[in-house]
Chain A
Amino acid sequence: MKVITINKKDWAKGLERLYDSFRLFGPVKQNEFHNFRQLVKGELPDLNLLNTRLSAKSMVYPQSEKMFEFTLDENREDHHILKEIHKDYSPKAVIGIRPCDARAFLLVKENFDTPEYKDPYWIKSYEATTFIGYACNTPCSTCFCTTAGCGPFHEQGLDLLLVDAGDYYLLKIITQKGENFLTAAGWSSKAESDAARHEIETLKRAAEGKITARISTDKLKDKKTTELFEAPFWEEVAFACINCGTCTYVCPTCWCFDIQDETIGLSGIRLRNWDSCMYPLFTLHGSGHNPRNTKIQRVRQRFMHKLKYYVDKYGDGIQCVGCGRCIRHCPVNIDIRKVCDLMNGFEK
């Protein structure tokens, strides 16, 4: 894989050129937090951040997304028939995504892109996107990516990896998509020697060394689902939970959604919105029966899904990349690292 150097004073010029062939997205500071949004021409992604408050999942999978449109006007021949909606799947680049959020897309892909069913909205949006990762030189205290199948310089799911080396950036080209992005930006594509590669390695090791929080996941696969489900610790884990759903909204690997119809006058749309297993309505039957009526059941569902059901269903590790957002933003300090250790260490 090729590594190039970008002089920081050439950074903006390259991005300027990219606007011709890409829709650019990046972190922008809004009040006290960074979040991803589309950049207007001339605007630079703000790379002076630890991480965005919400994950980058909305870059592929918006919080609210139109699916179909229809008319209820019976004078129209196509009344009450749902029709595809035009969407912009032109090339898009997400600059400054952290490696954890990029790997999260690969975990989520298992759900949206299956042998039997393809979710066209997610897949087309994902395929239209080039991911320019931003290596973490300064991980947060809540990060535990190195034991969650990821890491501060992890490359899976990225097309390029940008490394801040002080006075200049090092850019590692990982995929053909990344190569195309580099060409469009027009930065000097002269490959660096082994010294640059070595420099990245050194920064990577330093960053990894700063991540001290760890989880153990090695025994999850062999646990019996029904035994973990009936484990005695769920009541204590869920005790303080207020079912606010923040953990699911900030999580890069939570994918659940609701489908709703909205009408104004005689025209309407069908849309989907992020939903959350923390809410009782999520599973409420029409009859009034609710299989997850209590918060203990709902909290258990969230952790069992991420740390057991996903592990068993896809054989690709846990459904968590260790970004630590749910820990940072939980109002009652529920910590997935502790729950993971409880589950991994559970003996009936």
Chain B
Amino acid sequence: MQNPYLPYPVRIEEIITETEDKNLKTFNFVFINPDDQEKFNYTPGQFAELSVAGRGEIPIGIASSPTEKGFLRFTINKVGLVTSYIHAMKVGDIMGIRGPLGNWYPWEVMEGKNVVIIGGGFAFTTLRSSIIYMLDSDNRPKFKDIHVIYGARTPGMLLYRDELAQWEKRDDINMHITVDGTDDPDWKYNIGFVPTITDQKAPPGNEETYAIICGPPIMIKFTQPVLDKLGYVHDNIIMSLEMRMKCGIGICGRCNIGKEYVCKDGPVFTLAQLNNMPKEY
């Protein structure tokens, strides 16, 4: 019987400090046993439990795309016991990864459709995975127009700035990067909150257009009326939720919203699904 609680051993291959407050770092991991990489077969939108012996585990969205081979990438916000410890680890250190866990963005449903990605702050990790996945030359023809609305407080708080700049140059993806404010005179992108920029830049909603939203609750709260106004139906608004988790496989009992476990039945839900669930998240 396979033990779903046993992490795959991994080694930290690279650490990148992402943001000016140094609170977000990206870690690339490689599997110590090459066979484990084959078993870790994931889809954008899924997460994993990062495991540090002696400290514990933490559920984090997968920021790499399955089209990127040879490593797994996670961007980790320094918050509690485990994440603070991971922030102090160095290249070469050994830890564990358990997963992939949870469901994923509905890629099959979105085939042949327009995809609008709306992200705020550090909740851009599985969205990065999704963008890389869709822009892969094998996958890009499967989707119509792709829009990305991504905002952070300041330019220095945006994740993956080099990649954002590369995507800006492409003609097969419409980037709408924004910051709440900046005193940088050379800032050439948008200034304004994500809901405002969504109102200005997002394509109108219809059956052919899906929005994937990830961000802080305040952003989601104010973006949703904008999407309603633009005509997005709630079946086409896809959200990814966060919860305190332990097992990650729907057994330990704490991350439920109604009868759904965010770890196993989620973390991805449509707004239509959430409308029928208790407001307890």
Contact = CB atoms under 8 A, between A and B. Distances in A.
Interface of A: 67-68, 70, 72, 79-82, 84, 111-112, 114, 116-120, 123-124, 225-226, 229-230, 255-261, 263, 268, 270, 272, 275, 277, 282-287, 289, 291-292, 297, 301, 304-305, 308-310, 312-313
10 closest pairs, A vs B, by CB? A256-B253, A286-B79, A309-B259, A80-B94, A286-B80, A229-B278, A70-B53, A117-B249, A313-B259, A80-B53
A259 B56 contact: yes
A226 B277 contact: yes
Give the interface residue-count category, chain B.
35 or more
Given A67-B5, A229-B278, A259-B247, A277 B252 contact: no
A81 B249 CA distance: 21
Contacts of B258: 225-226, 229, 304, 309
Interface string B254-281: 1111110000100000000000111011
A118 B96 contact: no
Interface in B233-258: 242-244, 246-247, 249-258
A81 B9 contact: yes
A116 B264 CA distance: 9
A82 B244 contact: no
Contacts of A304: 258, 278
Contact of B242 (A256, A270, A285, A297): A285
5 contacts: A80-B53, A81-B53, A81-B96, A111-B251, A116-B264
Overall SS of chain A's interface: mixed
A308 B259 CA distance: 8
A93 B278 CA distance: 42
Interface in B21-48: 32
Nearest to A248: B253
B18 interface: no
Interface string B188-228: 00000000000000000000000000000100000000000
Interface in B112-152: none
Contacts of B53: 70, 72, 80-82, 261, 268, 270
Interface of B: 1-7, 9, 32, 51-58, 79-80, 83, 93-96, 217, 242-244, 246-247, 249-259, 264, 276-278, 280-281
Nearest to A114: B250
Contacts of A112: 251
Contact of A286 (B83, B250, B251): B83
A260 B253 CA distance: 15
Contact of B5 (A68, A123, A283): A68
A287 B52 CA distance: 20
A139 to B, nearest CB: 29
Given A68-B5, A225-B259, A277 B55 contact: no
Contact of A70 (B54, B217, B246, B254): B54
A108 to B, nearest CB: 10
Overall SS of chain B's interface: loop
The winner among A72, A263, A283, A291 for most chain B CB atoms within 10 A is: A291
B3 A84 contact: yes
Given A81-B9, A229-B278, A291 B243 contact: yes
Contacts of A226: 258, 276-278
Given A116-B264, A309-B258, 15 more contacts: A68-B5, A80-B96, A82-B51, A116-B250, A117-B251, A225-B258, A226-B258, A255-B253, A259-B247, A259-B252, A261-B54, A268-B53, A275-B254, A283-B254, A286-B79
Nearest to B56: A261
A308 B4 CA distance: 28
A38 to B, nearest CB: 24
B254 A282 contact: yes
Contacts of A270: 5, 53
Contact of B55 (A261, A272, A283, A285): A261
Contact of A277 (B5, B9, B93, B253): B253
A138 B277 CA distance: 42
A226 B260 CA distance: 13
Contact of B278 (A111, A117, A225, A283): A225
Given A72-B53, A261-B53, A309-B258, A120 B243 contact: no
Contacts of B255: 283
Contacts of A297: 280
A258 B246 contact: yes
A123 B246 CA distance: 19
Contacts of A124: 1
A319 to B, nearest CB: 11
Contacts of B94: 79-81
Contact of A309 (B52, B95, B256): B256
Contacts of A275: 252-254
B2 to A, nearest CB: 7
A90 to B, nearest CB: 17
B193 to A, nearest CB: 20
B32 to A, nearest CB: 8
A242 B80 CA distance: 28
Nearest to A256: B253
A213 B80 CA distance: 47
A198 B253 CA distance: 43
Nearest to B95: A80
A81 B97 CA distance: 11
A72 B244 contact: no
A84 B6 contact: yes
Given A225-B276, A258-B246, A277 B254 contact: yes
A29 to B, nearest CB: 32
A259 B51 CA distance: 11
B57 A256 contact: no
Nearest to B1: A120
